[in-house]
Amino acid sequence: MSSIWSHNISVSVFGESHGPAIGVVMDNLPAGEYIDMEKLMEFMARRAPKKNKTSTQRRESDMPQILSGFLNGRTTGTPLCAFINNNDTHSQDYNNIARLARPGHADYTGALRYGGFNDVRGGGHFSGRLTAPLCFAGAVAGQILEKRGIYTGAHILEIHGIKDDAIDNVSVTREQVVEMRKAEFPVLNVEKGKEMIADIEKAFMCQDSVGGIVECVSVNVPAGIGSPIFDGLENSIASLIFGIPAVKGLEFGVGFNCAKMLGSENNDEFYVNDAGHIVTRTNNHGGILGGISSGMPISLRVAFKPTPSISKPQHTVDMKNMSNDVIQVKGRHDPCIVPRAVPVVEAAVNIALLSHMLDYPNF
C-alpha cells in the first residue's frame, strides 16, 4: 500500500485534508519507551502555520489523540495509533476542482489513478496536511533516538535564491542541533532569514509562491548502521523524504557537486582522532558509505518546489468536458511551504534512523 512504510517498524498514514480526521499507526515500536507529550507537542507546533503572510490562514490545533499503544507515559509494544481532528476546513473553496485540474497539483494524475473517486478537497490524501501525522511519528522516533544520544535538526538553507549559512557537517554538535530547532524562523543567519521572509511576503502580495531547500543533519549515529544496495540508510531516508508532498530533490553530503570534483577532492581521508575513534577529515559522503553509516554526521538537503496553489489565473483543462479553461485557485495556502517543512524533514529522518537502529546490538 502506498501510505504504509515498513522497515523493522511500520508507519501507516491515513485520512484526507478535509475529512473528519487524519492520523497514523506505528507498529513494532520498542515497548517501555517514555514519550514526553509536552516535547512532542512542541515538535508538532513547529510545523503549524504562523500568524503572518508566510503561512496559510488555516488554523488547526493538531492535538493528537492516542487510541492505543501508549499507557502511563510509555509505549506498550502494541500498535501506537494517533488521530488528529480536522476542524478548520473550507471545502466550498474546492467545488470546481473535480473538473478543473490545478497546475502543479495531483488533481489530474489522481483522477486517472482512482477513476475520479479521489477526494479533491484541499488535495485530499495528496495534501501537505498529511505531514501532521508524519510529524507525530517522527517526534516519537526522535525521542527514542535521543535517549541513545542521536539528535536530528534542520534549517532553511535557501529560499528563492536567498541562502542561509550552511551547517558544518564535520564538527556540528548536539548542542548546535538542539539550538537550531529553537528558532521561530529556522535559519542560522538571522539577517538572511529576514530577507527570506520579505521575499515570501512579496510573493504572497504578487499572488505567487516560492520554493527552497532544507538542510538536515543527524549527529552521534554510530558507524555500521544500514546495508548495501537496496536496504541502505540513504534508501530508507529517501523513501520517507519523497513521501513529503512538494519534494523534488534530495542529495547527501556534497550531492550533485561531487560530479564536478576529482576523486582526490571528493574522497574523505580517514584518521584516528584524540578520542581513539576512526573519523574522516571531511564529510563529502554525508555520513553514509555503501548504504552504511560511517560515524560522521549524516547530512542531506531537500529541495521543495514553490507551492502550486497560487491565486493568479492559470490555463488548465476541464477534465469532464475535455476543453481548455482557466482556473483561479481559491482557499488558504502557504506562499512558501519550506519553513513548515523543516520539522517534517527531521521527522522523516528520525523514522528511518530508528528503523535501522533497531538492528544495532543492545539498542
pLDDT digits (tens, 9 = 90+) for 19-56: 889 999 999 999 999 999 999 999 999 998 776 556 55
Contact 315, 329 (CB under 8 A): no
Please give the grid coordinates belonging to residue 308: 502550486
**pTM of the predicted protein model:** 0.94
Would you state the cell numbers that stand for residue 3, as one nine-digit string? 501510505
Domain regions of the chain by residue span: 4-357
- In CATH terms, the fold of domain 4-357 is Chorismate synthase, AroC fold (3.60.150)
Q: pLDDT at position 341, please?
A: 97
Strands (E), 294-361: 298-304, 314-318, 323-327
Give the amino acid at 90: H
pLDDT over 80 at 313, yes or no: yes
Strands, DSSP E only, in 241-344? 247-252, 270-272, 278-280, 288-289, 292-293, 298-304, 314-318, 323-327
At residue 86, the pLDDT reads 86
Please tell me the least confidently modeled range out of 102-111, 186-195, 273-282.
Answer: 102-111
Average pLDDT of the chain? 92
**Amino acid 98: pLDDT:** 76
Adjacent-strand bridge partners of 24? 13, 82
Amino acid at 93: D
